[in-house]
Amino acid sequence: MAGKTGIACFDSWTVELLKTGYLHNHARMWFASIWIFTLRLPWRLGADFFFRHLLDGDAASNTLSWRWVAGLHTRGRPYVATAKNIATFSVQRFNLKDNDFANVAHGLEATEPDGLPPVLPLRAVNYPLTTRRASCNNF
């Protein structure tokens, strides 16, 4: 959450999210995949981190997107970030090696029983400041 994992792309996206409240859809997918499968952190914690910082944070879209990456919706088909994909779609901004990432064969379906997860209270809605532009100038 401080952007100090040593995985250059991941740390950069963390800082970008904290500073701007935004990440491109691909970066969200890669971030969630690395969080879950490479760093082996709980997906709920990652979803909570996104939800607190995304200007477009949305309980349904965010939660279900994290669950999709984890393979909990499309069971047996997790979304796995690869070095090649990140290098291609970041236009070589991040050149990583395949062994920077987890070798994923299965999603998290075995860790979660069938049925709905417990319902937790949502945080209060934080409306974006219309007087302040989100900026990517520092990247």
Q: What is the Cα gyration radius of the chain?
A: 15
For the bound state, the minimum distance from the C-beta of residue 120 to ligand FAD, rounded and expressed in Å, comes to 16
For the bound state, the minimum distance from the C-beta of residue 89 to ligand FAD, rounded and expressed in Å, comes to 13
Residue number, 7 or 69, with CB nearest to ligand FAD:
69
Q: Kindly tell me which residue out of 14, 20, 38, 65 binds ligand FAD, with binding defined by CB under 6 A.
A: 65
Residue with the two structure tokens 């970066």: 27
Per-residue 3-state assignment (H helix, E strand, C coil) for 31-87: HHHHHHHHCCCCHHHHHHHHHHHCCCCCHHHHHHHHHHHHCCCCCCCCCCCCHHHHH
For residue 36, state whether it binds ligand FAD (rule: CB under 6 A): no
Which residues of the chain form contacts with ligand FAD (CB under 6 A)? 24-25, 28-29, 32, 50, 54, 56-58, 61-62, 65-66, 69
